[in-house]
Amino acid sequence: METDNLHYFEKAPIYKAIAHFAVPMMLGMSMSVIYSILNAYFLGTLHNTEMLTTLALTLPLFAAIMALGNLIGMGAGTFISRLLGEKSYDKVKHVSSFAFYSSLVLGLLLMLAGLPLIDQIVHGLGSTAGSFAFTKDYVTVMLIGSPFVVLFFTLENIVRAEGSAIISMIGMILSVIVNIMLDAFVIFVLHGDVMGVAIATVISNVAASVFFAIYIGRKSAFLSVSLKWFKASKEIISNILKIGVPVFIMSIFLGAMGLIFNHYLIEYGDQAVAGYGISSRLLQLPEFILMGLCEGVVPLIAFSFTANKLRMKKTISFTIKIVAALAVVFGVIVYFTSDHLIGFFTNDPQMIELGSYILHVTFLSLFISGTTTLFTGIFQATGQGTAAFVMSIVQGVTLIPVLYLANLLNGFHGVVWSLVIADAVAFLVGAVMLYVLRNKLQPDLEQLAQ
């Protein structure tokens, strides 16, 4: 296992190394899109609007729990890959053990802090009188299960960081499959409701976490979940937080920006909101595929940063070409089939026209947003905490002034185009910072001479 992982890090051709790390991540993230659609479908068969409302209202809570997992997971993961490049294998065990136990503690603290404030949280999520009871049930279960949800996202990151991308994918798909099966069992066999769906979500995360823990304990060449390797040193904590905190902040900001965007869009009627909802769901698949690509190569970039910067440079260059090619392919498909794609969800001519327009506009930024994700991944992988923090702020808050001005100047069209403009601003900021940091990221003269 050690030899296989290091082969893809060090010696495999660039295209094979990228495929090894990125394809499993792309497949795993694509499965999560399929699950989100099926989850809504299962609840939809109960013909209860309040239950579907609960599913939508609780998305920010799940996103916040996921953000905590990524805080530890992304921070520890990029540090682990850099340590592997330095061949500091004992430190890798210390970091992975710290990530395992700190994730459980973080989730436990969230549970203890959240349960006494359950009613306030439910109201804060926007629950109405009709959906309050369902939302409270869902939130209660998610808070109780939060230690395992946080742990799942942490372990998925650190397993991928050591080069075991296929194991990471298996764990992600296992979670999705268990969740889908339990959802169907709860609704169609037990005739349950939202609480059963929430329990299914928690159990699926427990199952995947156990799978990852068993893999790490028995087969991992570098990682450890043993308490004897636990070490909370200043070096470990600072390296995790300098990357993990920006990831956490960006996740929270993006969730908040989604709420603000919907607030502006609702001024133009339910059809505008519904049209955006359909188009954003369609956009989710290519976005997640590109995100899987860009996040998938982060361990390879991190390892190469400390082991072989010339290989890192080639990896980044090749990944940008793939992003561009995928963006063009998806863009062409949308350009010629947008009406038919929206038509799968509605037969309302005005809705199809609005949704098709929004789809055309938002797909224009697919390459920009994909490359911006890669920029952020580069900063995370190379330990550039300040640059990663700046990117999290820019991606989080740029939309607010852009949205306000665009709405003021051009109404509905301005609101739609604000997404593309905000993505372009984040792209430019990332490109500038990458240029400023170029000396740190350049290969050494000895490597260029090889």
- The string of pLDDT tens digits covering residues 408-433 is 888 888 888 988 898 899 999 999 99
Residue 103 parent element (H or E) = helix 89-114
C-beta of residue 159 within 8 angstroms of C-beta of residue 168:
yes
- Is the pLDDT at 53 greater than 70? The verdict is no
Closest CA to 344 of 286, 289, 278, 283: 278
C-beta of residue 180 within 8 angstroms of C-beta of residue 97:
no
Q: How much is the pLDDT for 102?
A: 94
How would you class 324 by CB atoms within 10 Å of its CB: exposed for 0-12, middle for 13-18, buried for 19 or more? Answer: middle
Q: Which two tokens stand for residue 381?
A: 């992988």
User: Is the Cα dihedral 45, 47, 48, 49 positive or negative?
Assistant: positive
- Is the pLDDT at 448 greater than 50? The verdict is no
Say what percent of the chain tops pLDDT 90.
25
| CA 391 vs CA 17, 316, 321, 428: distances in Å | 27, 18, 22, 11
Within 10 Å of residue 219's Cβ, how many Cβ atoms?
Answer: 11
pLDDT-based confidence at residue 449 (cuts at 50, 70, 90): very low
Q: How much is the pLDDT for 122?
A: 84
Q: Tokens 């994909």 sit at which residue?
A: 370
User: Distance between alpha carbon 189 and the CA centroid of its chain, in Å?
Assistant: 32
Closest CA to 121 of 27, 57, 201, 204: 57
- Is the pLDDT at 1 greater than 50? The verdict is no
Q: How much is the pLDDT for 445?
A: 45
- Is the pLDDT at 321 greater than 80? The verdict is yes
Which is higher by pLDDT, 304 or 446?
304
Mean per-residue pLDDT, 97-126:
90
Q: Return the exposure string of 343-372: e unless at least 16 CB atoms fall within 10 Å of the residue's CB, then b.
A: bebbeeeebbebbbbbbebbbbbbbbbbbb
Mean per-residue pLDDT, 287-301:
88
Instruction: Report pTM.
Output: 0.81
Which of 308-317, 355-364, 384-393 has the largest mean confidence?
308-317
Q: How much is the pLDDT for 123?
A: 82
Q: How much is the pLDDT for 345?
A: 64
- Is the pLDDT at 52 greater than 80? The verdict is no
Mean per-residue pLDDT, 20-40:
78
User: How far is 64 from 66, CA to CA, in rounded Å?
Assistant: 5
Three-point CA angle 303, 308, 311, nearest 5°:
90
- Is the pLDDT at 289 greater than 50? The verdict is yes
- Is the pLDDT at 104 greater than 80? The verdict is yes
User: How far is 395 from 39, CA to CA, in rounded Å?
Assistant: 29
- By residue count, the chain amounts to 450
Closest CA to 208 of 57, 17, 69: 69
Mean per-residue pLDDT, 274-289:
77
Question: What mean pLDDT is reported for the chain?
Answer: 84
C-beta of residue 133 within 8 angstroms of C-beta of residue 48:
no
Which is higher by pLDDT, 79 or 392?
79
Within 10 Å of residue 124's Cβ, how many Cβ atoms?
Answer: 12
Q: How much is the pLDDT for 270?
A: 63
- Is the pLDDT at 75 greater than 50? The verdict is yes
User: How far is 134 from 371, CA to CA, in rounded Å?
Assistant: 39
